Amino acid sequence: MSDFIKTVLFTDDQGVARFKTEAVALNEGKPQARLSALMSSSGFQLRESPVGFRSEFHCTEAPQWVFILQGQMEIGLQDGSVRVFEAGQHFYSADLLPAGQTFDPKVHGHCSRQLGDQPLQTLFVCG
């Protein structure tokens, strides 16, 4: 059996966004087409961000898968680290504002921006 590697953007115990990876077991299906267990979702959205798009720091409102369909998306964290996701790549965004806290753009969340000369097209699948 093999695993699907899931990149997760999450909030740590101090309320700071971080990245980690998790394995998702592919133990269903057939040898030529391994499947994970069925996961639920509540819907999806498509988004196009123009060349030059850049967001302010923010938290994810609800956990969601983010699939890059076209272009490149850079995710920046408060510690200065960045990751770039290209067409065909994905991550699971779950960096929620900790319960009882007021959003502080110097502490919480992540920022994102479009890179390159193509508009950024993404698919958000809500969990």
The pLDDT tens digits along the chain (127 residues) read 578 999 999 999 999 999 999 999 999 999 899 999 999 999 999 999 999 999 999 999 999 999 999 999 999 999 999 999 999 999 999 999 999 999 999 999 999 999 999 999 999 999 8
For residue 1, the model assigns a pLDDT of 56
Structure tokens at 105: 């753009």
DSSP letter, residue 63: -
Domains of the chain: 2-126 (2.60.120.10)
For residue 57, the model assigns a pLDDT of 97
For residue 2, the model assigns a pLDDT of 77
Structure tokens at 98: 């900790």
**Burial class (CB within 10 angstroms; exposed 0-12, middle 13-18, buried 19+) of 43:** exposed
CA–CA dist 125, 31 (Å, integer): 27
For residue 127, the model assigns a pLDDT of 82
